[in-house]
Amino acid sequence: MLFPLAINAQKSDEIFRAAGSPHNPKVQISFNRYYTSEGLAALGKKIADAHPNLVKRQSIGKSAFGKDIWMLAITNYKVGDADRKPGFYVDGNIHSNEIQGGEISIYTAWYLTENFGDNDYITKMLNDRVFYIVPTINPDARNNYMKEPNTGSSPRSGMIPLDDDRDGLFDEDGYDDLDGDGSITQMRRKSPNGTMIIDPTDPRKMIGVGPDDVVTAQRYEFLGSEGIDNDGDGRINEDTHGYYDPNRDWGWKWQPDYIQRGAYKYPFSLPENRAVADFVLKHPNIAGAQSFHNSGGMILRGPGAQEDLSTYNRQDIRIYDAIGKKGEKMIPGYRYLTVYKDLYSVFGGELDWFYGSRGVYTFTNEIFTPFAYYKDKNGGRNQTYDFDKDLLMNDAFTSWKTFNHPTYGEVEIGGFKKNFGRATPGFLLEEEAHRNMAFTFYHAYHMPNLSIPTIEEKKLSGGLKEITVSIQNDRLMPTHASQDLKYKITRPDYVSISGVNVIAGMHVLDDDFNVTEEQKTNPAKMRVANIPGNSIIKIRWIVKGNSKYTITVDSAKGGVVTKKSN
């Protein structure tokens, strides 16, 4: 009898650690593949179970078809109050086929937890900040894309059907996987009037011919994606996998479907987005956010539409620019762009809701660019065939084969599979995840970081004392974005003193010329509208009594800092 040998993880003395990688991971994950919604959930649970002092896992809601939307809250729970640390929100996969965000999110959670205690940068990050990571906010649609026949671009959105051709019927004539390979590829047919021939240098390719070209090779015509006339109306694929778009559903400058295709009934009518919004509203400590889409290699900021241009003022755009331009360096081939100006108009988008409604600095990264094929900025999509042959060993292409079509007769079916083009190839996926994660960390690093560097005392007559406190924010982001200040989204920051009898409290407007502004009501708890980035503000009190006192800075997005007198 033969018994299979047990296959165990490699021992530590069999491994030489590569720079930038975890020392000895408790959770082993392969980042050269994609995971279903259930797969992502299982990985999240493994990470949470392996690191109970760093991860709290919870469902923030249910999808349209009842799947849990899992979130990992990651911080050092032994240091400080997790709910009072500056929070950074991450999500991916709002669109079904834009799958890389799930793996990048899981990679981020894995990297944070596995490097804590070994890497000083990560350790300090988790001591000071909390990350809220939702790998997929659209679990139903993720599974549909992966498990059902689809193109690389379908279904793009949610799982509530949309009447694409507005005939009152839903998906009555969608794609059909005629060859049963799980991908919707292309159909072609031999035709004397066709405008395409097979490329003599590569039988996978079709090349065009002009009306005056002398052609002796077999001509072909393209018939579109795989499909048949399911509803007997004489058309094929005219109502193909249309679904409402979750990224047109957010409650900021929302527009109905007849103005912007894809919008559903009203803002937050889709349960997945509503679950995210409810979570964010309960966590005013969230100061930064990142959403992962695909594709094109872009780092995007709002506004989504020109009509919303005034929302983003110059002061906040400088912060966006600093982070976005750093991202271009960190992720080669990516471009930092503005949605409405460089792409198209989006109303009711996630980017604008996070910033416009919550005052949270937010980016969307469009994952993967053809630059990655040969690291050549002049390459692009024309290199897909070469890349498949040279580096994927022809794994991304379904070879042409004949099929007896009920309408067209004998056709040929073939083309690139749904997991190629928009989705990052496996051997490049971990690099993509790491670079985008590092950009996320840079963004999170520049959330407010408050400290009390100095406390100055000055004796006055009558047993009184003047106490001047400096509060420093040494990162790019203020405690309140301009949008936050404009609409008073988040409460003011508070700087308070305890242990003494406070006679007066004031903001120091100009220390050199001793210009101050008194707060006459409750001076022991000074209200501060904002602590700008890379700046110091000063608060002054006139007090009487005890020489021992405590200063506390309490900011919704900047955290809580205390310092005792000497």
Q: Do 514 and 458 share a structural domain?
A: yes
pLDDT tens-digit series, residues 483-542: 999 999 999 999 999 999 999 999 999 999 999 999 999 999 999 999 999 999 999 999
Active site residues: 366
At 156, the pLDDT band (50, 70, 90 cuts) reads: confident
**CA Rg value for the chain:** 28
- Specify if 472 maps to a domain: yes
CB of 444 within 8 A of CB of 287? no
Cα–Cα distance measured from residue 327 to residue 337, given in angstroms and rounded to the nearest whole number: 11
Indicate if the pLDDT at residue 89 is higher than 70: yes
Above 70 in pLDDT, residue 554? Answer: yes
Q: What percentage of the chain exceeds 70 in pLDDT?
A: 95
CATH code of the domain covering residue 492: 2.60.40.10
CA distance 518 to 509: 10
Q: Are residues 114 and 63 in the same domain?
A: yes
CB 226 within 8 A of CB 184: yes
Task: Indicate if 250 and 336 belong to the same structural domain.
Answer: yes
Q: Is residue 197 assigned to a domain?
A: yes
Indicate the pLDDT class of residue 545, thresholds 50, 70 and 90.
confident
> 131 and 202 share a domain?
no
Write down the H helix ranges in 186-244.
none
Residues 101 and 51 in one domain: yes
* Residue 430 is assigned to a structural domain of this protein: yes
Residue 1 predicted with pLDDT over 50: no
Under the banding of pLDDT at 50, 70 and 90, the label for residue 3 is very low
CATH code, domain carrying 252: 3.40.630.10
Angle ∠(536,537,541) on CA atoms, nearest 5: 140
d(CA 484, CA 486): 5
Considering the domain architecture, whether residues 356 and 227 belong to the same structural domain is answered as no
Residues 546 and 517 in one domain: yes
Res. 122: pLDDT tops 60 = yes
Q: Give the CB-side neighbour count of residue 360, counting CA atoms within 13 A.
A: 30
Over range 95-121, report the average pLDDT: 97
Residue 313 is assigned to a structural domain of this protein: yes
One domain for residues 441 and 404: no
Short-list 434, 433, 432, 296, CA closest to 369: 296
pLDDT at 237: 79
Position 163 scores a pLDDT of 62
Identify whether 104 is part of a domain.
yes
Beta bridge partners of 543: 465, 502
Is the residue at 269 inside a domain?
Answer: yes
Q: What is the pLDDT of residues 272-295, one digit of tens each?
A: 999 999 999 999 999 999 999 999
**Does pLDDT of 242 surpass 80?**
no
Is 6 among the domain residues? no
What is the band of 46 on the pLDDT scale with cuts at 50, 70, 90? very high
pLDDT given at position 231? 75
- Give the pLDDT confidence score for residue 6 in this predicted structure: 45
The string of pLDDT tens digits covering residues 408-435 is 999 999 999 999 999 999 999 999 999 9
Residue 19 lies in a domain: no
Work out whether the CA dihedral 288, 329, 378, 184 comes out positive or negative.
Answer: negative
Interval 178-207 mean pLDDT: 94
Average pLDDT, the chain: 93
Instruction: Find the domain containing 397 and state its range.
Output: 165-241+382-416
Report whether pLDDT(145) > 70. Answer: yes
More confident residue, 146 or 2: 146
Whether 181 and 89 share a structural domain: no
pLDDT at residue 385 greater than cutoff 60: yes
Tokens of 462: 């009558």
Using an 8 Å Cβ cutoff, are 354 and 489 in contact? no
Q: What is the pLDDT of residue 262?
A: 87
Q: What pLDDT shows up at residue 230?
A: 80
| Whether 344 contacts 81, CB under 8 Å | no
Same domain, 202 and 176: yes
Q: Same domain, yes or no, for 60 and 128?
A: yes
Distances (CA, A) of 265 to 237, 244, 249, 258: 25, 10, 9, 11
Give the CA count within 13 Å in the CB-facing half-sphere of 11: 2
pLDDT beyond 60 at 355: yes
Confidence of residue 4 (pLDDT cuts 50, 70, 90): very low
Q: Is the separation of the CB atoms in 128 and 86 below 8 Å?
A: yes
Q: How many domains does the chain have?
A: 3
Q: Is 57 in the same domain as 95?
A: yes
Q: Give the per-residue pLDDT at 379.
A: 61
Amino acid in position 226: E
* Predicted confidence (pLDDT) at residue 5 exceeds the cutoff of 50: no
**Would you say residue 347 has pLDDT above 70?**
yes
How far is the C-alpha of 263 from the C-alpha of 544, rounded, in Å?
A: 61
Q: What is the pLDDT of residues 387-413, one digit of tens each?
A: 999 999 999 999 999 999 999 999 999
